[in-house]
Amino acid sequence: MTSLRKLVIHHDDLGGSHSANMAFVELVDVGVVTCGSVMVPGPWFSEVVEIAHRRPDLDIGVHLTLTSEFPCYRWRPLTCGRSLVDAFGYFWSDLTGARTAEPEEVYIELKAQIDTAIAAGIDVTHLDSHMGTIWQPEFIDVYLQLGQEYHLPIVVTRDVQSLSAPHSDLSGVFDRLQNKEILIFRNSSLLPLKRLTQLLLTITGFSVRRWLDSTGVDSISRHLVISNI
């Protein structure tokens, strides 16, 4: 039987730091990473724009962002929705806070992020979610709407429950997505590597996050344990 395996290795959090941006390009060039997604509110978004102009071959989506998780390295919304921010005007630091946002303000903000990326000249190829925030029950319809409006694939992982806020039940989310014939990736990070050779007739997605060693990364990451998924 001919194998029709497709492995997608995705690098998120572009725009979060110079080091993340450089790691993405390097990993694409050596054939390790397939595609990536950019946080438009991130402080290094402009560098991703420059990279995209120089490298139109790169597959870059928008990493829809509603949270800013680093205690000493934070970013703000592009729009003025009050429910999107904490007392200091930054995105909420976790899912519990982010879930209090008004869906209408979430839609306006995420639409602005997509529009900004497109206006900057990025050939946006897909949408996904920073910290899984847009996969929460309150916002999943916004996610579907944006995908349909922009005719872009949206990425969802079956391990979304592990990214949900405490006491959040996402069991109904997958039924709604499957009813709309949305493709849901298996979470390959839970699979032993040897199992990859057994995945026939399937599309399998990995999400990775790599930063090149630098002083800047040290100053960010000392406040948070970074894990690759």
Q: What is the pLDDT of residues 45-66, one digit of tens each?
A: 999 999 999 999 999 999 999 9
Q: What is the pLDDT of residues 132-164, one digit of tens each?
A: 899 888 898 999 999 999 999 888 776 555 555
Assign 103 a pLDDT band (cuts: 50, 70, 90).
very high
- 168-190 in b/e form (b: 16+ CB < 10 A) is bebeebbeebeeeebebbebbee
Q: Which pLDDT value is given to residue 6?
A: 72
Instruction: Tell me if 63 sits within 8 A of 13, measured CB to CB.
Output: yes
Nearby residues of 203 by Cβ (< 8 Å), 6 or more positions away: 6, 8, 183, 185
Assign 227 a pLDDT band (cuts: 50, 70, 90).
very low
Give the end-to-end CA distance of the chain in Å, rounded to a whole number.
31
Please name which of 8, 20, 27, 111 lies closest in space to residue 62, comparing C-alpha atoms: 111
SS3 content of the chain, % helix, strand, coil (to 5): 40, 15, 40
Domains of the chain, first to last: 6-221 (3.20.20.370)
Residue 54, judged by CB atoms within 10 A of its CB (0-12, 13-18, 19+), counts as exposed
Tell me the whole-structure pTM to 2 decimals: 0.80
Say which residue, 222 or 110, is predicted with more confidence: 110
Strands (E), the chain: 6-14, 35-38, 60-64, 124-129, 203-208
> What value does the mean pLDDT take over residues 23-47?
96
